[in-house]
């Protein structure tokens, strides 16, 4: 699989990161194994999970995704071939939301145990915490890096100015800096003022910030749970904005020209974007996975990209 630089970390990661949020909860263990194998067979090695996945699914408490990944890696003996990302910061049973040093240290230990590994390659602050001093949070992450428990750190659901503040705190103290930001991002844009709290959608300000600082944007929910292709899954209200009709229309034209699907064009557009965006690709069937992975073969010309980027009402 094509690889891309992860921020200024100096490492290359797969152009598609596999989202494993529902593995061993909504998506049963057998299918989860099948999807993991399918992604790895396609050359992918970048897996995304979190301590809380998927605590909101009835009957689950969180930790199921990490535990399944741990079992799968042990069975496949492939830990060294993978780039593993996990996260801390959201609440789950027995754990409050936040990024206090004690929360970061404790949750990292638990994630390492569930995953059955010594090191997490990329560890995210899953959500901003304005009540804990930034110094406390960044020092805690830096200590994990120094201890070899984490290789790189990233942020998720942060505003650009808070990322800059975190960068300043780390730079002035010689601590590890966030190398990437994971935010809600798709081709159709949210309408102005759309609220996804506690999630935060990427906006032009963040994209510009990423470009100028060399920070990679990882896009979660890139396919809007299938809204581009499934009539029973309308676009969420927050996306029915001034330019959504124009964007859907251009997407349809290019989809037909390329003999592809709308999902494939959305993913192909992301990895061809400047700066490059890494989509968190998720699927619950091998057919969806095949369709999504095939978008790596679609080439969009500069003219296609301009048409997609400039579509407006
Ligand atoms: N940092 C954060 O706060 C945050 C938040 C959300 C997600 N994430 C990460 O991002 C990953 C992806 O998020 P997401 O699940 O919200 O992504 P998404 O792209 O919006 O939705 C994926 C879902 O869309 C449907 N789908 C996928 N491919 C399809 C296809 N080819 N045709 C039709 N339907 C298709 C499937 O739904 P069905 O299963 O219903 O068929 C699949 O489970 C997660 O696994 C997680 O790792 C991070």
Does the beta carbon of 263 lie inside 6 Å of ligand 1?
yes
Task: Give a yes or no: residue 161 inside a domain.
Answer: yes
Q: Nearest CA to 311 among 275, 277, 265?
A: 265
Query: Would you say the C-alpha torsion 116, 120, 126, 132 has a positive or negative sign?
Result: positive
CATH number of the domain to which 283 belongs = 3.20.20.100
Position 65 in a domain: yes
Q: Residue 178 has what pLDDT?
A: 98
Q: Is the shortest distance between the CB of 222 and ligand 1 below 6 Å?
A: yes
Determine how β-strand 3-5 pairs with β-strand 12-14: antiparallel
Spatial distance between the Cα atoms of 121 and 150, rounded to a whole number of angstroms: 6
Interval between CA 44 and ligand 1 midpoint (Å): 17
* Tally of domains within the chain: 1
Closest CA to 86 of 105, 70, 103, 66: 66
Q: Is the CB of 83 under 6 A from ligand 1?
A: no
Q: Answer whether residue 100 is part of any domain.
A: yes
Residue with tokens 């909101």: 56
Q: What is the DSSP letter of 92?
A: B
Question: 42: domain range?
Answer: 3-234+266-299
CB 288 near ligand 1, within 6 Å: yes
In a mutational test of the pocket of ligand 1, which residue from 38, 280, 281, 290 has the highest number of ligand atoms less than 8 Å from its CB?
Answer: 280
Residue bearing the CA closest to ligand 1, atom 11: 19
Alpha-carbon separation of residue 185 from 57, 72, 80, 104, 149 (angstroms): 23, 29, 30, 26, 29
d(CA 84, CA 46): 6
Asked if the peptide bond before residue 68 counts as cis, ω within 30 degrees of 0, the response is no
**For 140, phi and psi rounded to 5 degrees?**
-65, -45
Kindly give the number of the ligand 1 atom that is closest to the alpha carbon of 182: 1
Task: Give the Cα separation of 161 and 76 in Å (integer).
Answer: 42
> Is 255 contained in some domain?
no
User: Does residue 309 lie in a domain region?
Assistant: no
Q: What is the dihedral of CA 57, 194, 123, 76, to 10 degrees?
A: 50
Residues 6+ apart with CB under 8 A from 6: 12, 13, 122, 152, 179, 180, 216, 278
Question: What is the CA(267)–ligand 1 centre distance, in A?
Answer: 12
Look at residue 275 in the predicted model and tell me its pLDDT. 85
| Cα–ligand 1 centroid distance for 269 (angstroms) | 17
Let me know if residue 246 belongs to a domain.
no
Low-confidence stretches of the chain (pLDDT < 70) are 313
| The predicted structure's pLDDT at residue 190 | 94
pLDDT at 241: 80
User: Is residue 240 one of the residues assigned to a domain?
Assistant: no
Domain-embedded: residue 305:
no
Residue 86 Cβ < 6 Å to ligand 1: no
How many angstroms separate the alpha carbon of residue 86 from the centre of ligand 1? 16
| Measured distance CA(175)–CA(169) in Å, rounded | 8
**Cα angle, residue 277 at apex, residues 228 and 32 outer, rounded to 5°:** 65
Give the global pTM: 0.97
């Amino acid at each position: 699989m094509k690889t891309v630089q992860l921020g200024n970390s100096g490492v290359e990661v797969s152009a598609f990161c596999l989202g494993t949020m529902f593995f061993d909860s909504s998506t049963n263990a057998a299918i989860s194994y099948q999807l993991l194998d399918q992604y790895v067979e396609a050359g992918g090695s970048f897996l995304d999970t979190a301590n809380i996945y998927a605590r909101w699914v009835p009957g689950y408490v969180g930790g199921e995704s990490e535990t399944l990944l741990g079992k799968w890696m042990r069975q496949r003996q492939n830990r060294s071939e993978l780039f593993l990302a996990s996260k801390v910061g959201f609440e789950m049973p027995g754990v409050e939301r936040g990024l206090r040093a004690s929360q970061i240290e404790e949750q990292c230990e638990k994630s390492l145990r569930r995953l059955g590994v010594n090191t997490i390659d990329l560890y995210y602050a899953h959500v901003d915490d304005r009540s804990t001093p930034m110094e406390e949070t960044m020092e805690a992450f830096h200590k994990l890096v120094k201890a070899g428990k984490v290789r790189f750190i990233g942020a998720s659901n942060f505003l650009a100015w808070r990322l800059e503040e975190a960068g300043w705190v780390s730079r002035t103290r010689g601590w590890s800096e966030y190398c990437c930001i994971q935010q809600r991002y798709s081709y159709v844009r949210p309408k102005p003022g759309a609220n996804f709290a506690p999630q935060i959608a990427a906006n032009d300000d963040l994209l510009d910030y990423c470009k100028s600082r060399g920070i990679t944007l990882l896009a979660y929910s890139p396919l809007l749970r299938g809204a581009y292709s499934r009539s029973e899954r309308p676009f969420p209200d927050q996306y029915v904005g001034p330019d959504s009709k124009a964007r859907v229309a251009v997407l349809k034209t290019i989809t037909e020209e390329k003999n592809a699907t709308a999902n494939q064009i959305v993913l192909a557009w992301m990895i061809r974007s400047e700066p490059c965006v890494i989509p968190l690709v998720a699927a619950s069937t091998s057919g969806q996975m095949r369709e999504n992975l095939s978008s790596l073969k679609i080439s969009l010309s500069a003219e296609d990209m301009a048409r997609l980027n400039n579509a407006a009402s």
